[in-house]
A and B are shown apart, each in its own frame.
Chain A
Amino acid sequence: MTTLLEVSGLGITFGGLKAVQDVGFRVNPGEIVSVIGPNGAGKTTLFNMISGVYKPSTGSVKLDGENVTSMDPYLLARRGLSRTFQNLQIFQTMTVLENAISGFHLQEMGPLLADLFHLPSMKSRAGKAETEARALLERVRLGNAAEKEASSLSYGALKRLEIARALALKPRVLLLDEPAAGCNAVETEEIDHLIAEVAASGVAILLVEHDMKMVMRISNHIVVLDHGEKIAEGRPEEVSRNPKVIEAYLGTEAANA
């Protein structure tokens, strides 16, 4: 299988702090690769570099063989990379439906004049996006909330809305930063199923998740970060037996206690 996402030697420094150092891995189509590690390990920072939000100081990101290091997120979106955010980035004052439709932006955009005068070409593009957005909302069980303002939704519902918006792009590579955080057991299980389903359709998925049971169950491959460095990687059962990993986790648990 050809590698879809290839990260190598990726690193970034914030005012002297090496938040991420020399991290590399690959994700193939249909594969779920999880990045785990204690809080502050650099997982979100890694996602931000891959998705073009931060410009890495070292290393490279390749999407389907093309070097896309430091490319603006909107250009990455056009190349099939999509993501969700750990701290929600919802369009709060828009409706749930509009949030979902915004994921179809590339599909529904056309000439500005068509928008200003509501020409038929705009209506057919927007109509198609709306139909697809409604179907997507059904898929994440938000169909009934379509007309509500997004800010009125619960945290768990907003998490699902972000996933729907990311799926709307029909991505080839999907980055999910703690999609089940703050969700109850039932919601977590649903998200779990959804991720597996999306992967089965051939999407390469990079996942950050704190729920270890979920990670161990659905991941094909796990990358472990600690203090910005990759300390281990491998299949779930390999990683869970790795002494370095156990130490990194026990260390933080002891510190938290």
Chain B
Amino acid sequence: MVTKRVTLLILAILVIASPFFFPSSFYYRIGSLIFVNGLAVTGLVILIGYAGQISLGHAGFAGIGGYSCALLPAHLGLHPGIAAIVGAILSGAIAWLVGRPILRLKGHYLAIATLGFGILVSMVLANEAWLTKGPDGIEVPDLGLKDVLELVGLDLSNSQFWYWFSGIAFVIGAWVALNLYDSPSGRALRALHGSEIAARTVGIDVARLKLQAFVISAVYASLAGSLLALQNKFITPDVAGFMHSIEWVTMAVLGGAGSVLGAFFGAAILTTLPQVLTVFQEYEQILLGLVMMLCMIFMRDGLLPSVLRLIRGKDK
């Protein structure tokens, strides 16, 4: 187990130092995508890695967060930043309502039910064209923060701004997740993951804690969706789609669902590959499936823990 301080240090260094090695400004864009995905995957680490529950529908919450940034400013005149926060609260509330019945299910049943939820959200976003403008997507207003920074003398390009903004959001998200890990709630989540029956006998309200993990991870996904919408200034129902949910789960599993650092590496690898290798772009879905299968067969704990164990094993 890499400690909290070390993890945060590594992540902060990666965020700050990476730009020195960027061959072109295009890489700021990849970097910010990594952080956005890393944020959503960190939420899944809490749900999958800590609590041992699965969700194949978390992109649904990203859809809610993303569309909040488009619709709330347009219809209610909210600032896009406030809209992202309202979207996160809305996602949390919906996760709470949906999670109560769904989280009683286990294993495959839970997977299917969450899958259904994600599909439902993406269908609503695609079909309710009167509100969402349908499958072609909708414009998202500018956050406006970049202009404020410019006024105080910090002149960043658009991609630079989103790199730093997403990077900071991701590190804060990682900090919160690491706090949770080493706290009474985090221990209770990991305990019920280990043995639900023993968790109940020590007084853990299993249903309530699972629901908390589900709501927290939904808020992470929602904020990731908002960040994506705000930096693209555009959003389509695909953000809530099944493939997007699968992508995130694969990133979590590849990195090692139990650790925040692993989540970051999972997100970094699977975000970068399609951007730099055209082969990966064309066959993304097949390759994601392949990665998932290979992980399950050869490294159940994910890439990072497996590699760490290999290194430590050789030391002995």
Which residues in A have some Cβ–Cβ distance to B below 8 Å? 51-53, 72-74, 76-78, 82-83, 85, 89-94, 98, 101-103, 105-106, 108-110, 112, 114-118, 122, 125-126, 129, 165-166, 168-169
| Docked complex Cα distance between A122 and B183 (Å) | 7
Interface size class of B (residues with CB under 8 A): 20 to 34
Chain B contacts for A168, CB-based, 8 A: 202
Most chain A CB inside 10 Å of its own CB: which residue of B180, B185, B188: B185
Chain A contacts for B198, CB-based, 8 A: 85, 89-91, 165
Chain A contacts for B176, CB-based, 8 A: 116-117
Contact of B190 among A51, A76, A83, A91 (CB under 8 A): A91
* Contact sample, A vs B, 9 pairs, CB 8 Å cutoff: A73-B201, A89-B201, A103-B202, A106-B202, A115-B180, A115-B183, A117-B179, A125-B184, A166-B201
Asked if B179 and A101 sit within 8 Å, CB to CB, the answer is no
Asked if A118 and B183 sit within 8 Å, CB to CB, the answer is yes
Chain B contacts for A105, CB-based, 8 A: 184, 187-188, 191, 202-204
Chain A contacts for B204, CB-based, 8 A: 74, 102, 105
- Give residues 144-182 of B contacting A (CB, 8 Å): 176, 179-180
Asked if B185 and A109 sit within 8 Å, CB to CB, the answer is yes
Asked if B202 and A165 sit within 8 Å, CB to CB, the answer is yes
| Docked complex Cα distance between A73 and B206 (Å) | 10
Chain B contacts for A52, CB-based, 8 A: 200
Asked if B184 and A126 sit within 8 Å, CB to CB, the answer is yes
| Docked complex Cα distance between A94 and B258 (Å) | 12
| Docked complex Cα distance between A53 and B191 (Å) | 17
Q: 1/0 per residue B196-214: CB within 8 Å of A?
A: 0111111111100000100
Chain B contacts for A91, CB-based, 8 A: 190-191, 193-195, 198-199
**Smallest distance from the beta carbon of A188 to chain B beta carbons, Å?**
23
| Docked complex Cα distance between A169 and B212 (Å) | 23
Chain B contacts for A76, CB-based, 8 A: 201
Asked if A94 and B194 sit within 8 Å, CB to CB, the answer is yes
**Smallest distance from the beta carbon of A198 to chain B beta carbons, Å?**
17
Chain A contacts for B193, CB-based, 8 A: 91, 93
In the complex, which residue of chain A has the Cβ closest to the Cβ of B196?
A: A89
Beyond A53-B197, A89-B198, A91-B194, 15 additional contacts (C-beta under 8 Å) are A72-B200, A74-B203, A74-B204, A74-B205, A82-B202, A90-B194, A102-B191, A102-B204, A109-B188, A112-B185, A115-B180, A115-B186, A116-B179, A116-B183, A165-B202
Chain B contacts for A101, CB-based, 8 A: 187
**Smallest distance from the beta carbon of B91 to chain A beta carbons, Å?**
16
In the complex, which residue of chain B has the Cβ closest to the Cβ of A165?
A: B202
Given contacts A115-B180, A125-B184, contact A78 B194 (CB under 8 A): no
Asked if B194 and A73 sit within 8 Å, CB to CB, the answer is no
Contact of B179 among A74, A102, A115, A169 (CB under 8 A): A115
| Docked complex Cα distance between A168 and B198 (Å) | 13
Contact of A169 among B188, B202, B216 (CB under 8 A): B202
Chain A contacts for B183, CB-based, 8 A: 114-116, 118, 122, 126
In the complex, which residue of chain A has the Cβ closest to the Cβ of B52?
A: A93
**Smallest distance from the beta carbon of B180 to chain A beta carbons, Å?**
6
Given contacts A90-B194, A94-B191, contact A74 B206 (CB under 8 A): yes
| Docked complex Cα distance between A120 and B270 (Å) | 38
Asked if B195 and A73 sit within 8 Å, CB to CB, the answer is no
In the complex, which residue of chain A has the Cβ closest to the Cβ of B190?
A: A94
**Smallest distance from the beta carbon of A47 to chain B beta carbons, Å?**
11
Chain B contacts for A126, CB-based, 8 A: 183-184
In the complex, which residue of chain A has the Cβ closest to the Cβ of B194?
A: A91
Asked if B195 and A90 sit within 8 Å, CB to CB, the answer is yes
